[in-house]
Chain A
């Protein structure tokens, strides 16, 4: 009834090429962005921001990056954790070398280092495909875990072996370090994620995104119609690693506060892969849906027995957590292999003709 695009005529090319061509979509996006920028910082308490919203946004960003690579360009990667670690550690080094520079700028810059590294590890993708490539990207994961754990220069010869985030201010408001309020950190994350997500929407509908999809669907055919496989795949690896790197930097600087290399172990790579599979391969909104799902499920499983008043010890909860997550993933794959984004698009189609479907 309300979700109709009838009567919305496009009279110019500019109007036709808008990011969100349907008026209601545009309105909805503005509402969501406005809500998360203005209302949430006012009403949410520290627990919500710290335990749910900040990790959700950071994981969305990482999932978005992986979705560009795996969902759009078709290159399966298991090295996301490694690239996040590169982002986090290079940001840490940049912050210590340039203490006066705006930390947000440095977080964004550290993504470029990660992108460069991603470029190098993307080179085998020209010759190796499918699962062979996935295993090859695991090399990145294990190599960086080793490198940042062993080479002391990366954590400034700390005795603890961990990287500690110092207090940094932007416009006289502390945004990183122990004194920063959760609201300030939330706003930093939200700004970066919003901007990068909008850029991602633009990339995938442009020339680069179309080239990626052509490569994904069949790389030989794409090569025949004049798409260069090497450059296209390398661009995918670079951009994806950029997103992962920024997400890694944010993860340490705005969420954890201090971190050892173990936080970027293989499990985080798998979690992010789960996010894009559950959210939907090859869709921007899917990354957000998937991240929300994976962040929320453990919290739900932990809190549900408490809410229902069932006494249960924490070790059992931990085991159930694994079991339920595993079972949910299998069930999801069986019933909706295209993920939450597909469910959303089905709902949307239904909504268009509601309440008169015939």
Chain B
């Protein structure tokens, strides 16, 4: 009985008792959720445009952040290192399309998925070989990002300025991307490819160009995520586990839905922080690792294609 109270009643009392703390937990969840959304957004873009389940998205985040920090360590000023990193991400997108995707056209999905895992391994080795394996500090100051904290309610609610900046930048990035997808010529071509490869080809859209563009955009998103996440902890290959955090976001929101990635990211981010804070201690803590998967699984039982995914219609 006591245990049941601890599970079903006590946490809610705790929430009402200390609403400021509750707000703090929600805010933390919101910030992580935004970053999950960004990663999931990179996944969704590539999945929609080329049907590739891009396992390498997590490592692209690390690779981008590492390139930026590594360049700065070698004496390149931050505002020159940033464009160079963008060029590197373009080179990566170009070579992935040319060397991997083009040779694997028309292969089953699992083969493409495996290829991106191979790419992940390659990037891990390559990144460590060039920049070394030890963790690095993100160059927050040099990029003119704020790093103080603001407090409310007599120091009870603490907001890190970098978190606020991260959310603002993420929202701006998402809006720009939405405009890009909706208004520009390439964006429309991209949506056409996502909708139907063959139909897009037949009206003269070049698949190869689109794939490069899509991987490049994902690379940029990876860079933004890498800067933000790196500023919260440090830059090392341990960061790539956030890719595993983004996977439940994907299945929750649906592989093919951009709003799904955003809503899913927020649900998972806030859900796992609240779960960890109010229920985690009951079973020994650190449940963040799998709680997100369980939340996603529960949703999947009712909607197998995710919250916003396209309905799966199967024919014999």
Contacts and interface: CB of A to CB of B under 8 A. Distances in A.
Interface string A310-343: 0000011011111111111110011001000000
B304 A127 contact: yes
Contacts of A281: 110
B152 interface: no
Nearest to A324: B125
Contacts of B248: 135
Contacts of B125: 319-326
Interface stretch (B30-38, B81-89, B169-177, B295-303): B295-303
A148 to B, nearest CB: 12
Contacts of B128: 318-319, 322
Interface string B277-297: 000000111110110011011
Given A130-B109, A135-B296, A333-B111, A323 B287 contact: no
A132 B247 CA distance: 9
Contact of B314 (A146, A220, A321): A220
Contact of B300 (A130, A132, A333, A337): A132
B316 A131 contact: no
Given A220-B314, A319-B128, A135 B121 contact: no
Contacts of A277: 110-111, 114
Is the contact region of chain B dominated by helix, strand, or loop, or is it mixed?
Answer: helix
B126 A315 contact: no
Nearest to B116: A330
Contacts of B121: 322-323, 325-326, 329
Contacts of A273: 114, 117
Interface residues of B, number: 52
A218 interface: yes
B250 A135 contact: yes
> Which size class do A's interface residues fall under?
35 or more
Contact of A129 (B110, B117, B301, B304): B304
Nearest to B312: A129
B290 A320 contact: no
A162 interface: no
B76 interface: no
Given A146-B287, A274-B114, A327-B122, 7 more contacts: A124-B297, A127-B301, A128-B300, A224-B316, A322-B126, A329-B117, A333-B115
Interface of B: 53, 99-100, 103-104, 107-111, 113-115, 117-126, 128-129, 133, 244, 247-248, 250-251, 255, 283-287, 289-290, 293-294, 296-297, 300-301, 304-306, 312, 314-316
